[in-house]
């Protein structure tokens, strides 16, 4: 994605719009990961009402499947993100698995939750989608033609790599 943004024309507005569900999903999954980690690390919410918000978030998380962030979902996530101990847990992200883009999206909840939201190039760049198979990208830099291969990293994907070499 980065090579496409730097060396090609980046993503069109229509292509960026297609990434909306991925941005929403990454944002929700990041919040859910932090909440799960709070349980693992024995961290309680600073405000006990946030526990109800967390339960609601888990039950509403499936609504992102249709590509929309409901006002209710945004409101819940904003309240959770403002909780002091959730923030402390976020600061301890090295102790559990959290996407590196989590903070980027969670600090931008207001913008991402706007009804007219269109993902930016940076939003698209920071999306995380598991690579399956092999994705080949071509670009030219200083009159040199490059081919870059993005390959799936899971063990089941590795047998496909040999075809790149």
Taking only the tens place, the pLDDT of each residue in 70-129 is: 889 999 999 999 999 999 999 999 999 999 999 999 999 999 999 999 999 889 988 887
Ramachandran region of residue 140, left (φ > 0), alpha (ψ -120 to 50) or beta?
A: beta
Say what percent of the chain tops pLDDT 90: 53
CA pair distance 132, 145, nearest whole angstrom: 25
Domains and CATH numbers, the chain: 1-126 (1.10.400.10), 134-163 (no CATH)
CA pair distance 78, 26, nearest whole angstrom: 15
As annotated, the binding site includes: 100-101, 125-131, 150-154
Q: CA angle, corner 19, sides to 15 and 22, nearest 5?
A: 165
As annotated, the binding site for Mg(2+) includes: 131
The alpha-helical segments, DSSP class H, found in the chain are 2-7, 13-18, 20-40, 49-60, 71-81, 84-91, 102-106, 109-112, 121-125, 155-158
The listed range with the strongest mean pLDDT (119-123, 141-145, 146-150) is 119-123
What's the pLDDT at 69? 84
What's the pLDDT at 165? 60
Q: CA angle, corner 117, sides to 111 and 121, nearest 5?
A: 85
Task: Say if residue 16's pLDDT is above 90.
Answer: no
What is the SS3 assignment for 161?
A: helix
As annotated, the binding site for GTP includes: 100-101, 125-131, 150-154
Ramachandran region of residue 8, left (φ > 0), alpha (ψ -120 to 50) or beta?
A: beta
What's the pLDDT at 125? 86
What's the pLDDT at 163? 64
């Amino acid at each position: 994605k980065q090579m496409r943004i730097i060396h090609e024309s980046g993503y069109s507005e229509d292509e960026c719009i297609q990434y909306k569900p991925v941005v929403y999903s990454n944002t929700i999954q990041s919040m859910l990961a932090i909440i799960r980690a709070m349980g693992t690390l024995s961290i309680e919410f600073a405000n006990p009402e946030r526990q109800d918000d967390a339960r609601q978030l888990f039950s509403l998380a499936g609504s992102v499947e249709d590509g929309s962030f409901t006002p209710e979902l945004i409101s819940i996530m904003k309240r959770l993100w403002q909780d002091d101990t959730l923030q402390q847990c976020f600061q301890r992200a090295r102790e559990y698995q959290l996407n590196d883009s989590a903070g980027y999206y969670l600090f931008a909840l207001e913008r991402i939750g706007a009804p007219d939201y269109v993902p930016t190039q940076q939003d698209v760049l920071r999306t995380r989608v598991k690579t399956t198979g092999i994705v080949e990208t071509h670009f030219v830099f200083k009159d040199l033609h490059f081919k870059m291969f993005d390959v799936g990293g899971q063990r089941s994907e590795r047998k496909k790599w040999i075809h790149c070499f």
